[in-house]
Chain A
Amino acid sequence: MQNEQTNKNIVPRVVVTGMGIISAIGNSVEANKKALLASKSGIGPISKINTIHAERIKVGEVIFSNDELVSQLQLPEDNNFTRTALLGLFAAKEAVENAEILDINSYKTGLISSTTVGGMDKTEQHLKQFSSSSESQKYISSHHAGDSTKKIAKYLGVNEFSTTMSTACSSATNAIMLGARLIKAGKLERVIVGGTDALAKFTINGFKTLMILSEDVCQPFDEHRKGLNLGEGAAYLVLESEKIAKKEGKSIMAYISGYANANDAFHQTASSENGQGAYLAMQKALNLAQLKPKQIDYINAHGTATPNNDLSESIAIKRVFGNDIPDFSSTKGYTGHTLAAAGAVEAVYSVLALQEQTAFPNLNFKSKINETGLIPVTEIKKKPIHHVLSNSFGFGGNCSALILSKE
C-alpha cells in the first residue's frame, strides 16, 4: 500500500477514540467497568453448549444467546452469522458508536480483526449435515477465519482494507499493533482493531486433552493454580491518528505508545522456562515507547492460570522489571480466557485502568508461586496510572505486548 503522507518526517501518534466489548462480565464497556470495579466474576457453569464435560469445567459465557444477538443487531433471520461473527459485530458496533463515527468513510478506515477457530461453533454442529441439509449448508462458507471479519466490515461499511490475524491467544494484540503501524505509516487514518472468539466444543476438548482446564474458578499467579477457564467474547478499539482525533474534537481515551511481537521459539504449546518470548515482547515494547520499566504503573498480565504460563510469565516479568515489579494482575478470573479476543478485551481493561486510575484485582489469588514470590494486586487499587502494559501470549510461541498511556 502506498504512503499518502505528505510530510514523512512527522510520524503521527496513535490514539484510542472508541471501545466496544462483550464478555462474560457484560455486554458493554460500561457493564464491564462496573463488574471490574465490583470484583464480580463472570465465570460459571456452561449453559449454551451441550458437552459431556459440563460438570467438570467452568467457563466465561456471554449472557446473550445467538437469537438475542441477532435481534439486537437487527439481522435478517435467515443469516449465516456464526456466534464468533455475532459477538464480533456486537462489540465492533459499540466501538464505532463510542468513537462517535457517523460516516465511516469520512476518513480512510480499515478493519483488522482476529479469531482462532472462526466459525467453528457452527461447523461442529453442522459438519455431518453439510452434505444433506440445505439449512446446514449455509454454514460451509462461514467456517473460515476471515468470515467474521468480512461480515463486520460489510455491516460497518469498511470497503477497502480489512484483514484477519490468527496467532492463537496473542491474536488481538497483533491486530492492535498492525493497526497502529498502518496509521503511523500514513496508510490508514482510522482503524477498528480487535478480536472475537465464541466458545466451542472444539476448543473445550482441545484444552481438555492438554489437561490445562481447571474444574474450579481459575487462580492466576497462585501457587496452587490448576489451569484456565475458557471464555468467549469480543472487543474492538477505534484507533485514529492524533491529528484527526483532535481536529474532530474527539476525547482521547489513551495513546498507543508501545507494542512488540516476538516468538518464544521453544515449543508449539509450552512457554520456555525463562520466558524468552515474553521477555523480548515486553522489552521491545518498552523500547518503542521510550519508557523505563519503572514508568509502568500497572501490568495487565496474560496470566491464564496454567502452571506453565504463569510461572514463565512471572520469570519474564522479573527479568524485565528486576526487584521493582509494578502492580500487576490477570483479569482472566473475570472473563475466562477469551483466546483470540483476549488481547483486545484486556486492552479495553487497560484503557479503563487509565481512565479510572485503578489497578483491577487478580481474583482468587491466595498464595504466591514459590519459585518467583510475586504477589498480584488482589483488591481494587486506586493510584496514579500513566502507563499500562498488557501482555498476550499464544500457542506457537507467539508473544505480544502493548503499552497504553494516558498522555
Chain B
Amino acid sequence: MRDCYIHSVVSISAQNTFPNEDFLLDVIKYNAKKIQAVYPNYKDFISPVVTRRMQTGVKMGVVAANKALQIAKLNEPDAIITGTGMGCITDTEKFLNSIIDNDETYLTPTSFIQSTHNTVGAQIALGLKCNNYNNTYTHGSLSFESALIDAQLLLQEQGARHVLVGGIDELGTEFVDYVQMIEANKNKGIGVPFSEGATFTVLSTEKKENAIKLQDIITISEASKEELILKLEDFLALNNMDVKAIDAIILGDNGDMYDDYYEHITISLFSNASQIKYKHLSGEFHTASAFAFWLGINVLQKQHIPAEVLKNSGENKSIKTLLLYNQCKGKDHSFILLKT
C-alpha cells in the first residue's frame, strides 16, 4: 500500500494561524459565545470581483486551498475533496429567510446557487480550471474525516498522486444561535465558543524531506467506551503499533458532558503520552477537527507543543507519532494517526 505524505497544511481559524509565523505563541483569548475566524486579506489571493458575491466559508476555503497548493508547489491537484458540516449556511439562511419574509416572491437566485454544499469544491475547481475528481462530504463532525478517507483511498488506488483536501464551516447568522440555545439549556452543554474556519492540506504519494505521514484514519459512528478501546487497539495493531508508540494525543474536549470519552481513552491507554486540547482556541464547529489536523502536523514538524494547548506533558521528549481523537456527543468518533 502506498504511503500518504502531507506536503502542506494551511488553516484559517479564530487564531492567527493563516500566516502561522509564531505557531500559537500569542493566542487570542475570547469571552464571546460566537467567534469569527481571523480572516486573511482575501485580495492578496483572489480578485475582489470574484470574492464580491462569496460568503465567508467560500472565501476562506478558496484562499486556504490556494495557499496550500502554493506551499506544495502544485498547480493542478488530481482531486479536490472537501468536507463541511453545515455547508454554505449563510446563503442557505439568506435564501430561506427571503422565501419566508416575502412569501415566495421577489427572490433572486444568487444565494440559492451558492447554498449547495459543494460550492467551495466547485469554486476551487473553477478557479483552477481543474476537470479532475471532485467530491464533497457533509456528515456532521466526520465531514473532514470522510474527505480524508476518500483522499487516502484515491492515493492508495493509484488513481491520484496529489490530492487537495479541506474542511470548511462558516458561522452563519441564525442557525448557530438556535444550536447554542439548545446547548445552553442542557446540563453541561458545549462550553467553548462556536466558531468557524477552513483548513486545507495537500496529500501526496511522493515522499518529501520532513514531510509528515498520514499513517491512517478510522471513523466509528457508534460504540460504547469499552468497544471504543478495543476498536482503537485493533486500529493501532493494524498499523503495527501499540499504545506506547503514541507520543502525543490531540483531544477534542469542548466542555460538554461527553468529554469523559477523552478522559476514558487517555486514562485507559495513553497516560504516558502528552495530551493536547485545542477547542478553547479554535472554537467548536463540525470541521474543528481539521484545525487539530493542522495543529498535529505543526507539532510534529516543529517538535514543540505550544503552552496554550498543552494539557499534560508526556514522558517522551521527541514526538514521532501523534494520534488525533475527536467525537461529537459520544458518537461519530474519529482517530487519525500522524507520523514524522
Residues of A in contact with B (beta carbons under 8 Å apart): 1-4, 8, 51-53, 116, 118, 120, 123-124, 127-128, 130-131, 137, 140-141, 143-147, 149-150, 153-154, 158-168, 174, 178, 181-182, 184-185, 187, 201-202, 205-206, 208-210, 261-269, 276-277, 280, 394-398
Contact = CB atoms under 8 A, between A and B. Distances in A.
B321 to A, nearest CB: 16
A276 B134 CA distance: 14
A52 B105 contact: yes
B211 to A, nearest CB: 21
Contacts of A52: 103-105
B125 A116 contact: no
B133 A262 contact: yes
Interface residues of B, number: 73
27 contacts: A1-B149, A3-B156, A131-B178, A144-B286, A146-B138, A147-B140, A150-B140, A150-B331, A153-B222, A154-B222, A162-B139, A164-B139, A165-B137, A166-B117, A167-B134, A168-B118, A178-B150, A181-B157, A184-B157, A202-B112, A262-B133, A264-B131, A265-B125, A268-B122, A276-B131, A395-B122, A397-B134
The interface centre, meaning the residue of B126, B137, B220 with most chain A CB atoms within 10 A of its CB, is B137
A174 B79 CA distance: 14
Nearest to A158: B221
Interface string B79-97: 0100001110000100111
Contacts of A124: 96, 99-100
A265 B128 contact: yes
B114 interface: yes
Contact of B216 (A2, A166, A398): A2
Contacts of B118: 166-168, 394-396, 398
Given A182-B153, A265-B130, A168 B86 contact: no
Interface in B286-307: 286
A1 B105 contact: no
A397 B126 contact: yes
Contact of A1 (B87, B109, B126, B216): B216
A154 B222 CA distance: 8
A3 B137 CA distance: 22
The 6 lowest CB-CB distance pairs between A and B, nearest first, are A396-B122, A206-B112, A166-B117, A2-B238, A209-B109, A263-B134
Interface string B166-204: 000000001101110110000000000000000000000
Contacts of A206: 95, 109, 112-113, 115
B142 interface: yes
A166 B137 contact: yes
Interface string B216-249: 1111111100000000000100110000000000
Contacts of B223: 159
A167 B178 contact: no
A52 B125 CA distance: 37
B337 to A, nearest CB: 10
Contacts of B286: 144
Nearest to B103: A52
Contacts of B139: 145-146, 149, 162-164
Given A144-B140, A263-B132, A162 B116 contact: no
B122 A398 contact: yes
Contacts of A267: 126
B contact patch SS: mixed
Contacts, number: 208
A187 B216 CA distance: 12
A261 B108 CA distance: 30
A163 B218 CA distance: 12
B131 A210 contact: no
A78 to B, nearest CB: 16
A124 B95 CA distance: 11
A52 B129 CA distance: 39
A185 B182 contact: no
Nearest to B150: A178
A46 to B, nearest CB: 13
B331 to A, nearest CB: 8
A317 B156 CA distance: 31
A165 B121 CA distance: 13
A162 B221 contact: yes
A150 B113 CA distance: 27
A389 B117 CA distance: 26
A140 B209 CA distance: 47
Contacts of B142: 146, 163
A397 B136 CA distance: 12
B220 A397 contact: no
B113 A185 contact: no
A143 B100 contact: no
Contacts of B179: 140-141
A397 B104 contact: no
Nearest to A167: B118
Contacts of B130: 263, 265
A167 B85 contact: no
B157 to A, nearest CB: 7
B266 interface: no
A323 B109 CA distance: 38
A129 to B, nearest CB: 10
B1 interface: yes
B252 to A, nearest CB: 17
A143 B117 CA distance: 13
A165 B135 CA distance: 8
Contact of A153 (B115, B157, B221): B221
A174 B178 contact: no
B156 A140 contact: no
Contacts of A396: 116, 118-119, 121-122, 125, 134, 136
B143 interface: yes
A277 to B, nearest CB: 6
B11 interface: no
B46 interface: no
B135 A261 contact: yes
A116 B107 CA distance: 20
A184 B216 CA distance: 18
Given A166-B118, A167-B134, A268-B122, A146 B140 contact: yes
Nearest to B219: A161
A225 to B, nearest CB: 20
Interface string B145-166: 0100110110011000000000
A207 B269 CA distance: 53
A185 B158 CA distance: 11
B116 A166 contact: yes
Contact of A51 (B104, B112, B150, B238): B104
Contacts of B239: 2
